Structure 1
Amino acid sequence: MDFLGLIVKYPANRRLNEQERAHHLKQKQRLGVEPHYQLSVIKMNSTYLESVDKWFAWKGMISALAIILLAIFASTLGLISLRWLLEAAGDSSEDSGFLLANGLGMACVFACLALALIWLLRKESFAYTHYPMRFNRKTRMVHVFRPNGTVLSMPWDQLYFTLGHMAQWNDWEVRGHVLDADQATVRESFALSYVGSLNPGDEHDFVRAHWEFVRRYMEDGPQSVSGQVQFCMPIDVRRETFKVGMERVFANIASAPFLLYYLLFPLCLVVSLFRCIAINTSKIPQWPAEVEAASAMTPGDPYAMEGDTTGARVAVFPEAASAAGVAFSAPPRAVR
């Protein structure tokens, strides 16, 4: 539930720090973890893998916070300021100026808070439904759809991947840095889809396992990871349904202990409701023509997959997939 990079930009024009050097993830180096797709896949084929952004899992949280706070401030500060203004209008004593000043001051405070909350709301609603990342293994390019609607395109082999730490939540993520010619100055950063705890050597080492999923796709091909993909997010050319969005939000707590699950149930329900608002007020992102042209899918590709309207994985070319024996086989195995 981290929104670094969406609300506040990643620090840029700075030197790589020691932590980033110590946790460097190399494109050619296989880690001792089983790859894990973490419900990130939108589409996958022999040409490219397209995944969701790291904010997608909890989309709706920002909108819920902004709209609920906006409603609270509107009902309290608005009524108080209106009351003072009305009292000032009907009061001919010397207190009327004081009441008028208080009413106008309260109205200004409300206006500033409202503008701040609207700014926050627009980071998620009235924006884009998601911010996809496309990993093209044939051109060896990575394309990242930025929150401002532009696209970052960089060679896979020139990106510096490392583990990034969000100290306030003690969460980690895999970040890709665009470095300057000196190979030490960070110009821009983005993150892969999964955010969570760092558990080296544990069966829940999902942060590095998700990196390994992307890395093996790019280095070893779709056959190395396609069997574990059971669901593909059905958001490429359409908005998700309320049911699919709700299932995605509740998937965040699917493995929580029984008591914690039911404590978080109301939160997830609220987020699901506001996720619907965020999705339906936002635009579906469109890749530039040159990115689409470089991502042409091979006809009859047995590894081509996408999601149906429910999110279930389906083959784009079912006959080719069946002939090659390509299908969902099993979820990712735990690390031993």
Structure 2
Amino acid sequence: MIDTEGRKPYSKLRYYEVGKNVSNLKKISDFKWLDKKQIHDVPLYPQRTVVQFNSTYMELIGRQDRIRGDVTVWGLFFFGLVTYALYGMGVLFLIIFANSAALGSIIILFVIILLGILTHVLPLLSTELFTYTYLPIRFNRKTRKVYVRQANRRVEVFDWDELRFYMATTYKDGGDVRGITLADDGVTITGMFSLPFVSDLTAKEILGGTQLKQHFEFVRRYMEGDDKQLAEVKNAIRYIHPVHIKRETPLASFQRATLTALDSDENMEYPKEALRLNWTHLAIIIQLWLRYLGRLLSINTSITPKFSPEIEAECQIDPNDPYDLNKNLPEGNIEDTNQPIWKKLTHSILLILFGIVMLFVFAFFIDMIGAIKGYDTGLAYKLLHLFHLV
């Protein structure tokens, strides 16, 4: 069952493991099967991934949400750097070959190089710009189906009872838990999706992926548990991220960019612990600022995803559902739509001031690099003049 609504990407992204033999998974670092019928006696960790929650379905954000904006920043930076370099070389060649018959061929060569770079950068940028604000994963307890909007923007529907789960260190940014389906031969992987939370299984997870198990058990218990366990899952949620209604706010973007930059091991449902700062975090402040800018650009050029009417018909909610956390927000929910106007205004002003300060930090950083290379860019002075500080 495929839903192809939405903007189509340049990149046809898919999981590399799909279509391969399941035995290849065991070659992945820290690989371990997870039994969805076994109760794991660990605390439940939603990790700020819940978009919607009720007794019919639970919707989570996608895996890539945690690093949303990174591709945007580095993709645009790389493209800008290469374009600037090509421009400088083009000016130089125009001077050298101004009266040469080869000038036309050189210009064509530069255009071909630029187009070649675009064909590689655009597919990457299309995964974050002019796409969806998030890639939902919806677990339906009643139909026992899982609806996943993949990175290629198609919706895949999985049968929960046919899924097998494992955790492993799959990428440089850490490990995750993945669900897979197999063909009738029992060995060929036909489908795959990742749970949202990502954590390091080696350096940090001394107990062998404890946090990943906590996140998996949160999902497993929702789908497999009885009413008592459903209440346990509900009570574990402190934060609802309602991006199914509208784009996340700049404050929410900043908090999520900060959590990713800090790479905290704390329970992210309690950001006062996970967002605990100290002076050593000054080392990542430029990285945080760039990631935040990339996230803002990515989120605000994208549209809110919608499932097809057929899927929504399978996900009807009881209007009086006591488990509907979108109507009855958890106690202590920090979503800033519930905050008073003065607090929202204060946060907005602080974010603007932070942006201005980071502009100067970035300018001084560029000036320092220029000074090392023997020339003065004067970027910081220009900013001071722009803000009438000199």
TM interval, shorter chain, is 0.7 to 0.9
Deviation at 1:275, TM superposition (A): 0.9
Larger deviation, residues 36-45 vs 222-231: 222-231
Moved >4 Å (runs of 4+) = 5-8, 18-22, 97-103, 254-257, 307-310
Alpha-carbon distance in 2 for matches of 1:38, 1:145: 20
Code of the residue aligned with 1:131 in structure 2: it is L
Query: What are the equivalent positions in structure 2 for 1:247-326 lying under 5 Å apart?
Result: 247-252=255-260, 253=262, 254=264, 255=274, 258=278, 260-306=280-326, 311=335
User: CA separation of 1:76/1:267 partners in 2, compared to 1, >3 Å: closer, same or farther?
Assistant: same
- Partner residue of 1:144? 148
- Structure 2 residue 241 is the aligned partner of structure 1 residue 219: no
Deviation at 1:102, TM superposition (A): 4.3
User: CA separation of 1:52/1:112 partners in 2, compared to 1, >3 Å: closer, same or farther?
Assistant: same
Code of the residue aligned with 1:11 in structure 2: it is E
Alpha-carbon distance in 1 for matches of 2:92, 2:72: 29
Alpha-carbon distance in 2 for matches of 1:284, 1:26: 34
Larger deviation, residues 30-39 vs 76-85: 76-85
User: CA separation of 1:84/1:292 partners in 2, compared to 1, >3 Å: closer, same or farther?
Assistant: same
- Partner residue of 1:242? 250
Q: TM-score, normalised by structure 1?
A: 0.82
Alpha-carbon distance in 1 for matches of 2:194, 2:296: 24
Alpha-carbon distance in 2 for matches of 1:302, 1:262: 44
Alpha-carbon distance in 1 for matches of 2:26, 2:224: 22
- Partner residue of 1:159? 163
Alpha-carbon distance in 1 for matches of 2:209, 2:337: 24
Alpha-carbon distance in 2 for matches of 1:288, 1:20: 36
Q: Which of residues 215, 222, 238 in structure 2 aligns to 1:230? A: 238
Q: Which of residues 192, 195, 199 in structure 2 aligns to 1:196? A: 199
Higher relative strand content? 1
% identical aligned pairs: 26
DSSP-derived class of the 2:316 partner: coil
DSSP-derived class of the 2:281 partner: helix
Q: Contact 1:232 / 1:312 at 8 angstroms: preserved in 2?
A: no
Q: Contact 1:81 / 1:107 at 8 angstroms: preserved in 2?
A: no
User: CA separation of 1:11/1:97 partners in 2, compared to 1, >3 Å: closer, same or farther?
Assistant: farther
Q: Which of residues 119, 131, 135 in structure 2 aligns to 1:127? A: 131
The number of aligned residues is: 304
Q: Contact 1:177 / 1:186 at 8 angstroms: preserved in 2?
A: yes
Alpha-carbon distance in 2 for matches of 1:205, 1:264: 26
What per-residue deviation string (whole Å, max 9, x for no partner) do you get for residues 197-253 of structure 1?
126674972111110110011112531211121111120121112111111111221
Q: Contact 2:13 / 2:151 at 8 angstroms: preserved in 1?
A: no
Alpha-carbon distance in 2 for matches of 1:181, 1:248: 41
- Partner residue of 1:75? 84
Q: Contact 1:78 / 1:107 at 8 angstroms: preserved in 2?
A: no
Deviation at 1:24, TM superposition (A): 1.7
- Structure 2 residue 44 is the aligned partner of structure 1 residue 35: yes
Deviation at 1:97, TM superposition (A): 4.2
Larger deviation, residues 128-137 vs 221-230: 221-230
- Partner residue of 2:16? 10
- Partner residue of 1:175? 178
Deviation at 1:111, TM superposition (A): 2.5
DSSP-derived class of the 1:188 partner: strand
Q: Contact 2:86 / 2:110 at 8 angstroms: preserved in 1?
A: yes
User: CA separation of 1:8/1:87 partners in 2, compared to 1, >3 Å: closer, same or farther?
Assistant: farther
Alpha-carbon distance in 2 for matches of 1:152, 1:167: 22
Q: TM-score, normalised by structure 2?
A: 0.71
Larger deviation, residues 15-24 vs 202-211: 15-24
Structure 1, unaligned runs of 5 or more = 315-336
User: CA separation of 1:128/1:138 partners in 2, compared to 1, >3 Å: closer, same or farther?
Assistant: same
Q: Contact 1:77 / 1:106 at 8 angstroms: preserved in 2?
A: yes
Query: What are the equivalent positions in structure 2 for 1:84-99 lying under 5 Å apart?
Result: 84-85=93-94, 87-88=96-97, 90-91=98-99, 96-97=100-101
Code of the residue aligned with 1:311 in structure 2: it is E
- Partner residue of 2:378? none
User: CA separation of 1:179/1:295 partners in 2, compared to 1, >3 Å: closer, same or farther?
Assistant: same
Q: Which of residues 52, 55, 74 in structure 1 aligns to 2:64? A: 55
Q: Contact 1:230 / 1:313 at 8 angstroms: preserved in 2?
A: no
User: CA separation of 1:193/1:105 partners in 2, compared to 1, >3 Å: closer, same or farther?
Assistant: same
Deviation at 1:99, TM superposition (A): 5.5
